Every structure is written in C-alpha cells, then in structure tokens.
A and B are shown apart, each in its own frame.
Chain A
Amino acid sequence: MMNNTVISVKNMVKKFGHFTANDNLNFEVYKGEIFGFLGANGAGKTTAIRILSGLSEPTSGEVIVAGFNARHQAEKIKKNIGYMCQKFSLYEDLTVKENITLYGGIYGMSRDLIRKRTNELLEKLKFHEYENRIIADLPLGLKQKLAFSVAVLHEPKIVFLDEPTGGVDPITRRQFWEMIYQTAEMGITVFVTTHYMDEAEYCDRISIMSDGKIVALDTPENLKNKYHAGSVEEVFIKIARPANN
C-alpha cells in the first residue's frame, strides 16, 4: 500500500440476502485526489459509500479508510472523514453559527478551535451577514456551500460528497467546484458522486459502477481515449447501462 493511499478496497463484497449489491470491488484513492464515483441509479454506489464511511460493514473483503479497517474500526473512520449529501446536511431550524458549533462539537473539536474555524469559515464564504440566520431562510446555493464547509470543518482526511450540486444554479455549481479544488489542494481527498457528467470531467480520476461492479476506472482523458468518446457522458452511456431499471 502506497503511503499516500487514503482508501484501499480489496475484494469488497456486500450482500443483502441473495442480492449482491457490491460484487468484488477493488480500488485505491490517494491523498488530495478528486475521485468521481459514478454509476447508474441502483448500481451500488450508495452501498459502497456507506461502507467506506463506516456506516455499514462489508460482507467480505478488506476495506481500509484513513488507515482504519471498516470491519472493526468504523468509529475511528467516522472521526476522520467528512460527509455531505444533497438531501440532509444541516439543521434547518438552527442558525448558521449554531450548526457550525454543533458539528464542531460532534467532531470533538475544542471550543477555541471551533471559534477560530467558525470565523475563518464565515470570512471565507463572506457569510458574516448570515451568521445568525436560520438555515431554512438561506437560498439553496448558500446552504450547499455551507454544508460543504461544515463537512470539512475538522479537516478530515477524506470528504464524501453525495450529489452535492443537485438542482443548484450553474454559477453556484461552479463556485462549489472551486471549493472542491481548494479542498483537494489542502491535501483532503474528495470522493464525489454526481449525475452531471460534465462535473465528472473535473475529477482527477473516475470510476463507473454498473450492476454492483466497477466497470471502468481511470482519468477522464484515458477513458475517453479508450472508448473513443468525446466526453465522459458518452463513455457513461456506452458502459453504464443498467441491466434492468
């Protein structure tokens, strides 16, 4: 295992009864990398992300995330990762500041550190005017940016983003990706799923899942060359067709 490997997955299998959701996955993700995790609905992405983030155990195989084993060190994994999804990330009836403080506390950060990071974060997002507003009153774009910042508040080794830009306007979507680039430059690995195929092109490497298996894994450039495709979307349509949807 290279010492800059932050996720190592070997022969990972996850079964639910007779159904194999993840069928022998093998891949590595490196420090500071933007890794796009693509696949059709029902291909098994969510199952895999749940295992990688310590929420579920693999049926078999070896999964190491941030140096910890997903089978018996799930709690340690959770402390060393961040997670954000489109549907739920922040408490709608708490203010911006309260949400930041809450998450800082959950991650076990000291009061001083929380205060320091809160100020940095509000400064970076130019969010001071919103600090005492409740989340429910913020426009979607601002919510998503804040949710992302909160997910990396404790400077985790890896942050998992599950469709972070669904439904946001094109300008906000691009600003969001600039935050992703900045985060990766800090050395935090970004593991991201998306249905916007142009966003897949922003990733360093992408994997494509279909029916529980990884059917492709490479840089966007190499995949386009391999499949004689002009865009990742074309690659995706060629190889990600689900068996029965």
Chain B
Amino acid sequence: MQNIIESEGICKKFGDTEALKNISFSVNEGDIFGFIGPDGAGKTTLFRIITTLLVQDEGDLKVLGLDAIKDYKELRKNIGYMPGRFSLYQDLSVEENLNFYATVFGTSVKENYELISDIYSHIEPFKKRLAGKLSGGMKQKLALSCALIHKPRLLVLDEPTTGVDAVSRSEFWSMLSKLREHNITILVSTPYMDEAMRCDNIALIQNGNILSINTPVKVKEGFSRKLFRVRADEKYKLITALRKYPQTLSAYPFGDSVHVTLIDDQIDKLFYLFLNEAGLKGVTVEETAANIEDRFLELMEKA
C-alpha cells in the first residue's frame, strides 16, 4: 500500500488570516478520507492546495507520489475535483458537459463509461437537458460523473452533500462506497458530523487546525469522560437546569436528549434531587457512548 497524499506542516495565510496552520496527514490508497468541520475551518483552502489550484506558504505536499508544486501538470491529469459550488457549464447539455470534460482530459465517455455508469444512468434519460435546468440532486450526479470521466486515481470532493437532504445524502455516500471497487482514493469534506462514520479515516478540523485524526471509531473513543444521556419532558428547562448544577462540566442538546459530563463522572441521588427541585418531570438518565460530534465539542472546548 502506498500513501496517496503525504502532507507535512502545510501553512497558508490570506493577509492576516491563518487559514491553515501546520497541517500534517497522510491518506492510504483506496481509502475514503474525510475532513469534518464547519464553514471557515480551512477545508476548501486545503483541497485547493491538494488539487494544485493554490500554493501553500510552507510545508511539503506529495500527492500520488508527485510534488504538488513542481509536478502540478502531471498531477492534474490524475485528480478529479468536484468543487463546493456547481461549476459545470450551465448552458451546455448534460451530455455536452460530460463529453467536454472527457475531451479536455484526452479520453472519451465510451472508454470510461463503466466507471460512471452507476451514477450517470440516473441522469442519462435527461442527457439533452441543459445543466442549468437540472435539479440539485441531478446536478450533483452530473458533477460527479464529470469529475470521474478521466478515471482519476484521486477524487477530491469539497462538501458534496452540503444543503442536501438526509435521504439524498445517504444515497450519495452509497455511491462513494461503490467507487471503492475501482480502487479510487477519495478525499471528501463535510460539515455533517454524522457522515464521518462513512469514511475509513477522518480528520476533525477547526480554525485551520486538525483537532484529531484517526479512524472514526478511534476518534469517538478518544472522548475522555463518561457521558450521560438525560431526558425530561421539557428540554429547554432541562438544559438550563443542568447548566446550573454545580457538578456539570458540559451539557449539550443532542436530538431528543441532553448529553452531560460531570466532574466526578457519576450520577448520584443529588442529581435527581436537583432536577426534581427545578420542577422537571419525566427525568431519565443513562450512560451512553460518545459520537463524533460529542468528541468534536470536547476538542473545541479544549482548543
């Protein structure tokens, strides 16, 4: 196995803003590697450097064994890139866009059709339609087809699921998993923490720093305390009460419950008494396993 990306101490500034601070990581061949973090974390800047569209201020970057600065021309032939904003030609048809991208990379749709057939078959019935007239989901499938048509060894997807509903997001991830059969390495970014579990390895990123980097399971297991899931009839009242409880370290709403950590990692009678006195009804408490977002919150607090 070969490392498809080797990044060592990458820094990038825009004026006074440090967009990336000392970013080091490596990506194994055939992996789906996810950068998970909010807007402004530096995900797009990093992906632009990896795809040779920007040059880092400091640090070494090898992609597919090539130097990202010196060998950028060679590198571009082997990378497929889907930017966050829809960047195909709106006034060309579906088919014209795909043919155009194939031609630019010196190949043909026919030659690599097998690679995209799973994805492209969904939009092929609309191949005469202008790209600008497609629905969001269809645009996404066309953009992915165009990024794949030259059979790249590395596929870079910048927030492909942002603003996409939960059903379509799930389908998109299934398509990515299938691409693994073709031994394409995928680098993907997302602000949705739950998507981390679909990756082989992830990096949590915030304010230009990598907070944690590992398999999603190991990242979750990095959570340092016991975590309790507390429920009550009135959620907001519960959060406010938990914040006032002297033993509380953190209390964050998660879905229908509140995730709580306590100084001595224990729930005792006082805890129930306190919530009871705060007028809360239907209180239930159970210990729960931390998820990626719990860990992200913990790391943010420490940062």
Contact = CB atoms under 8 A, between A and B. Distances in A.
A201 to B, nearest CB: 4
A82 B226 CA distance: 41
Interface of B: 37-41, 135-138, 162-170, 191-194, 206, 235-236, 239, 252-256, 293, 296-297, 300-301
B300 A140 contact: no
Interface string A37-68: 00111110000000000000000000000000
Contacts of B168: 40-41, 242, 245
A171 B300 contact: yes
B273 to A, nearest CB: 24
Contacts of B255: 198, 201-202, 231-232
Interface in A162-220: 163, 166-172, 174, 177-178, 181-182, 185, 195-198, 201-202, 220
A42 B137 contact: yes
Contacts, number: 99
Contacts of A41: 135-137, 163-165, 168
Contact of A233 (B135, B166, B301): B166
The 3 closest A-B pairs by CB, nearest first: A245-B137, A167-B39, A169-B38
B165 A181 contact: no
Nearest to B141: A245
Nearest to A236: B166
A240 B253 contact: no
A240 B254 contact: no
Contacts of B162: 166-167
A17 interface: no
A245 B252 CA distance: 35
B167 A240 contact: yes
B167 A221 contact: no
A237 interface: yes
B166 A170 contact: no
Interface in A14-50: 39-43
A195 B256 contact: no
Given A171-B300, A198-B255, A166 B163 contact: yes
Given A42-B136, A198-B254, A168 B166 contact: no
A233 B166 CA distance: 7
Nearest to A233: B166
A241 B37 CA distance: 27
A42 B165 CA distance: 10
B167 A202 contact: no
A242 B167 CA distance: 8
Contacts of B164: 41, 195
Interface string A117-158: 000000000000000000000011100000000000000000
Contacts of A168: 38-39, 191
A140 B39 contact: yes
A245 B135 contact: yes
B236 A181 contact: yes
7 contacts: A42-B135, A42-B137, A170-B38, A177-B253, A182-B236, A201-B255, A233-B194
Contacts of B300: 169-171
Given A41-B164, A233-B166, A241-B167, A170 B293 contact: yes
B206 A40 contact: no
Contacts of A174: 252-253
A170 to B, nearest CB: 5
A40 B167 contact: yes
Nearest to B293: A170
Contacts of A198: 194, 254-255
A240 B138 CA distance: 17
Contacts of B170: 237
Contacts of B239: 178, 181
Contact of A170 (B40, B169, B193, B256): B193
A240 B236 contact: no
Contacts of A181: 235-236, 239
B228 to A, nearest CB: 17
Given A170-B193, A171-B300, A177-B253, A195 B38 contact: no
